[in-house]
Amino acid sequence: AVRSFQPGATYDAVIVLGGALDPAATERTGVPEYNAAAERVLRGFELLREGRARQVLLSGGSLDPRPEAVVEADVLLRQLQQWGIPEERIVTEGRSRNTRENAVESVRIIQERGWKSLLLVTSAAHMPRAAGCFAAVGLRPDLLPVDSRASNTPLRRMSWLPRSGALNLSTDALRELAGRAVYRMRGWTAP
């Protein structure tokens, strides 16, 4: 998916997809604990602070069925409030457990609120699947991929010795590719 963010625009809402929080660590410490996708939240905050979006839709629930489980959207709501964003600018959707459900739950809220100009923020590697899920429910927001994980090192200068960081990156890449394939087979994404 290509970046289509319009820097001069003021969006009705920026949609920030979940996946930036480490729920187990957050539950253990009682404060937000983030993973490598934290830039999703930071970019959403910056867009609100700079007036590039009137509101934010935080879309992210929990995979944990316990009633006391951490719901990502609720944690991020409190985080944005601590950073000075007024509660009336923050809308949460805490039911979704995956990217398809992010889109399905978000479209309902977007229609209820009558939002027209939308910006979707998620990780660069996740954006093609996310954009496809939103297209499948009839939404084509502008796209702002964040936290790219690319190297400028020329291939000839790369070491072929295994590194744990490279293993993590390849695990993430394989997981995303598998997710794209499954979502395509189930008809959950649209081109």
pLDDT at 186: 85
Q: Is residue 44 part of a domain?
A: yes
Q: Is residue 2 part of a domain?
A: no
pLDDT at 4: 94
Q: Is residue 37 part of a domain?
A: yes
CATH number for position 163? 3.40.50.620
Instruction: Give 122's strand partners.
Output: 145
Instruction: Give 37's strand partners.
Output: none
Q: Give, in order, the Cα–Cα distances in Å from 102 to each of 84, 130, 163, 180.
A: 25, 8, 34, 15
> Which residue carries 């950073």 as its tokens?
83
Q: Is residue 150 part of a domain?
A: yes
Query: Hey, what long-range contacts does 185-189 have (CB within 8 A, 24 or more apart)?
Result: 186/100, 187/136, 188/99, 188/100, 188/132, 188/133, 188/136, 189/129, 189/132, 189/133, 189/135, 189/136
Q: Domain of residue 90: give its range.
A: 11-186
Closest CA to 57 of 106, 5, 117, 6: 106
Cite the DSSP H helix spans in 5-57.
Answer: 23-29, 39-49
For the chain, the helix, strand and coil percentages under 3-state DSSP, each to the nearest 5: 45, 15, 40
Q: Is residue 154 part of a domain?
A: yes
- What is the pLDDT averaged over residues 101-114? 97
pLDDT over 90 for what percent of the chain?
71
d(CA 59, CA 61): 7
Task: Dump pLDDT digits (tens) for 24-80.
Answer: 999 999 999 999 899 999 999 999 999 999 999 999 999 898 888 999 999 999 999
Tokens of residue 139, six digits: 């939404």
Count of domains forming the chain: 1
Q: Is residue 4 part of a domain?
A: no
Q: Is residue 5 part of a domain?
A: no
Tokens of residue 188, six digits: 């959950």
